[in-house]
Structure 1
Amino acid sequence: MACSALPSPPIHQQLNPPPPTPTHPQLLTLLKSPKTPTQLKTLHAHLIKTSLTHNHLFQGQLLLCCNLSNSPAYARRVFDTVPNPTQFFYNAMIKCYSENDHHKEAIELYGQMRSCSVNCDSFTFPVVLRSVGSLRWRGIGEEVHGYVVKMGFGGLVIANTALIDMYCCCGMWSVGRQVFDRIGERVKDVICWNTMIAGYVKNGNFLSAKELFDEMPERNVSSWNTVVDMYGKCGDVGMARRLFDEMPARDVISWNAMISGYVHGGRFSDALELFRMMQGSDVKPNEVTVVAVLPACGHLGALDLGQWIHSYIKRNRVKMDVYVDTALIDMYGKCGSVEDARGVFDNAEMKDTFLCSTMIEVLAMHGKAEEAFGVFNYMRRTGIRPSNITFVGLLKACSHVGLVDIGVEYFGMMSKDFELVPKVEHYGCLVDLLGRAGHLEKAYETIKSMPMEPHPIVWGTLLSACRIHCNVKLAEEVALHLIELEPQNCGHYVLLSNIYSKAGKWNEAAKLRKIMKEKGVMKKPGCSSIEVDHSVYEFFAGDCIHPRRKEIYEMLDKIITRLKSEGYSPKTSSALHDVDIDEKEQALLYHSEKLAAAFGLLNSNHKTPIRIVKNLRICDDCHVFMKMVSKYFGRSLIIRDCNRFHHFKDGSCSCCDYW
């Protein structure tokens, strides 16, 4: 009798056969690379199914895989299943905690290891000391130090290097130096030297850091990076650049440190130029690079370059984490492209407090209060806890559109709903909100009732409100107080001079200018920048050194002639001197933003907006001028002054003349 045929497997198994069961060597290889939580559970299930959880090799490798996968909670569940864990398991679990910033748990497990009489070794102490340093737990650090010596590891350079780092993290750099000096010169390696130098830098002891760097018998790229970063952070970018240029080799950290130094020092054009140089090197930018360079684009209003960097991120698959998304939102916002900022926000895979707060700040700068409130409501719906920064943005949004009642409600919500204590910047925003809306006495009372000493910026905010509402009496009182606090700050004198000029009090304005001259206080010159064809051009008020000044001034004359034919009359109240009308008009004509606008009309495509960044508040006359240019020359203009954005289109401004 013939044997009957075996039944065929189901059709889905024929089309999708199960993957082959991995061999033991293959399984060990799989456990040596990071896994998603689902993959981790699958591998763990396979170990249980094949009884390999009793094999210390596989179980230990699973613990290490959890560490690679940033899964300390899952690692602990695995650890707790190990009967009588050995030194290896404790070390692996402590390392997992420490490298995932669970430092308290790492130290607690070290205590359990000691109480269970499991011996520590040279792998245990460096990891434990790292966690001690991160928490700045000096007492425990000293106790661990004693145990290191007791166990006979005091002569090991790896243990001593960890002790140096721990003491420096705890602010005890002099003790760290004692440990460093006790190590034999032949034993010290470059990592030990670098750790001591970095320890000095952490504690602000830059002179000792440079002296030790100069003494090093051997340097690696990390040594150079530390001192370049140090000089960048302490503001000496010239020295940082000299050391950067001397480096025998550079890695991505070197470039990032130098770019960050330039941005930190306010040398934004140099930061962008260095980023361009990096493109021609053999080092590829990473996510840290773009987070460092994007603020430079934002400060200069270099939208084209910012968009290019965004494209570079996508093309080269630079890691798009929450820091990169936040930097992009901030850059687009400061460059005037709120639509691009919103696009990044909407597409961000992860949204945290800082990212949402940045989006609120951007929307506030552009006068989009309702959208800012919408982001805040999104935070509340999704459980993202607002911070002090969040409420600064919300209060600014209210201030820019005059929503006094809503702003006061948000101010009260901080302590009532979120247990956040208002800081000086929140009171400053509240004073600005009340002052802009004309509630000058309420704003003054708010300052006097502040629980902390009012910052000069808060008083300056009230003085600015006095200028808007022409309250000379209160302005004089506030300005005298400000000048007493900051006698060399030109802004206070200029604001009061503006108020006098606007009120026709020319004698008082002249006296104030005389006081400024006697005290050597110089007025900050108006400066505007504009990006054309990927290059940023700067203009100063009355600029007469620009290589194309002749055609720029000719263009400006044509604009003025056209606008006057359409009814433009210069607002000479914006001029600061008691001179004749012609001289006042001439002074107003050459404000930096007008020069930048003329340059933009000459050199940019008529379909693209003209984007200008100004260092001071835009004056009333320039505001009228820009509205009329947008109407009669058919161009959109986006101007960022020191307070907010103004979007000029078809003869109107997004601020609705409330700024």
Structure 2
Amino acid sequence: MSCLLSSPPIPTLSSLQTQNPNPTKEEWLYTSLKSPKTPTQLKTLHAQIIKTGLTQNDLVFGQLFLCCSISNTMNYARHLFDKLHHPKLFFYNAMIKGYSLNDFHQDALTLYTLMRYRSVTCDSFTFPVVLRSASTLGKIHIGKELHGLVLKMGCAERLIVQTAFIDMYCACGLSSYGRLVFDKIVDKDVICWNTMIAGYIKCGEYGYAKEVFELMPVRNVSSWNTIVDMYCKCGDMEMARKLFEDMPEKDVISWNALISGYAKIGESGEMRRLFDEMPRKNVVSWNVMITCYVHNRQFLEALELFRVMQVSDVKPNEVTVVAVLPVCAHLGALDLGKWVHAYIDRNRVKIDVYVNTALIDMYGKCGSVEDAKRVFNNARVKDTFLCSTMIEVLGTHGKAKEAFTIFSYMRSTGIKPNDVTFVGLLKACSHVGLVDAGVKYFFMMSEEFRLMPKVEHFGCMVDLLGRAGHIEEAHELIKSMPMDPHPIVWGALLSACRIHGNVKLAEEVALRLIELEPQSCGNYVLLSNIYSKAGRWDEAANLRRKMKEKGVVKKPGCSSIAVNNVVNEFFAGDRAHSRSKEIYKKLDEIVTRLKTEGYAPCTSSALHDVDMDEKEQALLHHSEKLAVAFGLISTDHKTPIRIVKNLRVCDDCHLFLKMISKYYNRQMIVRDCNRFHHFRDGSCSCSDFW
């Protein structure tokens, strides 16, 4: 496969001679500096400029600055700039533009300030770039100062400058100021009209945007794309589709906008039909489709499209892999996730903080904590989101102390924690029962970091207190919440009641939950399970009857296991798999062997009032047991078995998996809806606390 994002080789004089029989060294260097370069290549070309005496050639030396800009090596550019005794305006403009293009907006403004301090006169190329940086940082006062300066200098009539002011004012939320500038322009070009439309859209003033669009004397494809995209974002697909059909000319952006619009409202069929009809697809088109599938939880479709993309003439980039990695994470497909990681390395896909965060999340959700830690340790840039993701991964796997270490690292390096950081820390405390540590972090949020606890944080605290047996304290915390308790908070308390058998409070909480979420099956099922576990079969049966009357359908337990990059799903009592006869035969063999080793089914996990044999049979066919049996007959004895379950693992399956890990000498990693369980040598990483 060809490399992505790799810099082209420096052209040689002989290669240029095929285009120009007698290229000068000046022409050779100028041409070489027109494409992105690695830092080593830049230094080589700089050395050539010095050796050939072209340091005084503004054309070549200026192109070196521009090359640094497109190569994202602004530190090197600044090193060169600072060595110039009296930099000309051209070099200031090149540096400011380079900073702005690479999102170093504060550096761009700082250099502009230095330029003004040194009395270097600005021109019409300076102002638009500085205005872009000022608007990006929301520094409207700088924009207004620039406006006054432009008026004094007599540059206010330049269309490029006027258009930049329209964009700046609208980006800062002052569309009325932008419109005043717009209305004073005598000869507006199509870019100016498009900027005003886009400005109104940025400010959420869609009516004014449509009004300006209708007043346009001439529209280009960008004009149409902007207004179509506006209607797509508003969810008005009927108008978006009408405008799309009316477009005299469509480009790939037009198609991408409409596809994104249909994805937003969940119309995956129409979305795919448009994608298939596209005459030309670029990498953005593929990324939009894959991302849309992921957002609509159509993970297998996203995966299949990624596979098709690889054999197309469009190569995936960092946006693609950030979209695909969550698919691997959701499916628990570690081998596929590792393949994507290898693809990133092999094709030199740009690894930024977003890619690293997606990799950590994928490895964490696929059960490979060591790989997640390796990515974290190797990441050159660590920000709040990267660290928070690592904390969440460690906490979900029951490694609370390591999660605390990452948090300490954040504090020591000045990385500011956010709401997500503390959710991860509180979950880490909850999974291992560290009540005192959880209380400390909960109060630290507001006292040290001025972060007000949200519903998610209260939910974590109720879960922490409840799991640890402090049910009354958890109940009191809910009563003291400054906002109305969300169902997620009551759900955490109901789960605690199930763990500790508090039927009385469970009834009160469940009734409140059913009132808040009448169609949520989980609330009915949880209370029914509590009744069943307490032997109150009549109440359990009545609750299931109410579910039927209200049309509430119980979510079936499902376990998946990826073998040879194929995801296999199992439901309780499932016989749809092509190897079901082998699976059930293996399962019978396992039960026979484990019973000789002392396995006694936890019939309390069978939640129906039937005889003991029927209870054992029902337990035997739970989805995770089928997945384990399939894993044992389908993988090498040294290969860890990785299972993803959509519900909580029951007590019987937990015991069953512990015994398999011991008597079959197999490591198993199971991700249920709450946490990870690492089974090894007859024990589980959760220490039976889940």
Give the TM-score, by structure 1 length: 0.93
Q: Displacement, 1:113? A: 3.2
Checking the alignment, whether the CA contact within 8 Å between 1:173 and 1:199 is kept in structure 2 is yes
Aligned equivalents of 2:149, 2:232: Cα separation in 1: 34
Aligned equivalents of 1:59, 1:637: Cα separation in 2: 60
Q: 1:106 to 1:539 in 2, by over 3 A?
A: farther
Out of 185, 206, 227, the position equivalent to 1:173 is 206
Out of 38, 44, 48, the position equivalent to 2:81 is 44
Q: Displacement, 1:635? A: 0.4
Out of 39, 62, 67, the position equivalent to 1:33 is 67
Structure 2: which 5+ residue stretches go unaligned? 1-46
Aligned equivalents of 1:88, 1:484: Cα separation in 2: 63
Q: Where does residue 526 of structure 1 map in the other structure?
A: 557
Q: Where does residue 122 of structure 1 map in the other structure?
A: 159
Out of 155, 176, 183, the position equivalent to 1:149 is 183
Once the two structures are superposed, the pairs formed by residues 410-489 of structure 1 within 5 Å of their partners are: 410-489=441-520
Q: Where does residue 3 of structure 1 map in the other structure?
A: none
Amino acid in the other structure paired with 1:181: E
Amino acid in the other structure paired with 1:151: I
Once the two structures are superposed, the pairs formed by residues 640-655 of structure 1 within 5 Å of their partners are: 640-655=671-686
Aligned equivalents of 2:573, 2:320: Cα separation in 1: 37
Checking the alignment, whether the CA contact within 8 Å between 1:33 and 1:65 is kept in structure 2 is no
Checking the alignment, whether the CA contact within 8 Å between 1:79 and 1:93 is kept in structure 2 is no
Q: 1:415 to 1:95 in 2, by over 3 A?
A: closer
Amino acid in the other structure paired with 2:213: F
State the Cα deviation string for residues 356-398 of structure 1 (Å, max 9, x = none): 0000000010000000000000001001111011110000000
Match of 2:66, SS? coil
Match of 1:568, SS? coil
Amino acid in the other structure paired with 1:146: L
Identical columns (%): 57
Give the TM-score, by structure 2 length: 0.89
Checking the alignment, whether the CA contact within 8 Å between 1:470 and 1:499 is kept in structure 2 is yes
Amino acid in the other structure paired with 2:381: M
Q: Where does residue 579 of structure 1 map in the other structure?
A: 610
Q: Where does residue 3 of structure 2 map in the other structure?
A: none
Aligned equivalents of 1:360, 1:317: Cα separation in 2: 28
Q: 1:362 to 1:133 in 2, by over 3 A?
A: farther
Range with bigger deviation, 535-544 or 421-430: 535-544
Checking the alignment, whether the CA contact within 8 Å between 1:231 and 1:239 is kept in structure 2 is yes
Q: 1:133 to 1:207 in 2, by over 3 A?
A: farther
Checking the alignment, whether the CA contact within 8 Å between 2:524 and 2:547 is kept in structure 1 is yes
Q: Displacement, 1:47? A: 3.7
Aligned equivalents of 1:589, 1:105: Cα separation in 2: 70
Match of 2:275, SS? helix
Q: Where does residue 341 of structure 2 map in the other structure?
A: 310
Amino acid in the other structure paired with 2:122: P
Q: Where does residue 149 of structure 2 map in the other structure?
A: 113
Range with bigger deviation, 495-504 or 21-30: 21-30
Q: 1:575 to 1:130 in 2, by over 3 A?
A: farther
Aligned equivalents of 2:48, 2:315: Cα separation in 1: 42
Determine if the alignment matches structure 1 residue 603 to structure 2 residue 634: yes
Structure 1: which 5+ residue stretches go unaligned? 1-15
Aligned equivalents of 1:88, 1:622: Cα separation in 2: 69
Q: 1:147 to 1:68 in 2, by over 3 A?
A: closer
Determine if the alignment matches structure 1 residue 544 to structure 2 residue 581: no
Q: Displacement, 1:581? A: 0.6
Q: Where does residue 663 of structure 2 map in the other structure?
A: 632
Once the two structures are superposed, the pairs formed by residues 192-341 of structure 1 within 5 Å of their partners are: 192-341=223-372
Aligned equivalents of 2:663, 2:347: Cα separation in 1: 43
Aligned equivalents of 2:227, 2:49: Cα separation in 1: 55
Amino acid in the other structure paired with 1:33: C
Checking the alignment, whether the CA contact within 8 Å between 2:89 and 2:120 is kept in structure 1 is no
Aligned equivalents of 2:381, 2:78: Cα separation in 1: 24
Match of 1:617, SS? coil
Q: 1:188 to 1:387 in 2, by over 3 A?
A: same
Aligned length: 633
Amino acid in the other structure paired with 1:374: T
Q: Displacement, 1:162? A: 0.5
Q: 1:282 to 1:249 in 2, by over 3 A?
A: same
State the Cα deviation string for residues 86-143 of structure 1 (Å, max 9, x = none): 3333234324545x656636633542334525333221244333333433x1xx3222
Q: Where does residue 523 of structure 2 map in the other structure?
A: 492
Aligned equivalents of 1:125, 1:241: Cα separation in 2: 41
Match of 2:306, SS? helix
Q: 1:132 to 1:582 in 2, by over 3 A?
A: farther
Q: 1:516 to 1:107 in 2, by over 3 A?
A: same
Q: 1:307 to 1:109 in 2, by over 3 A?
A: farther
Amino acid in the other structure paired with 1:475: A
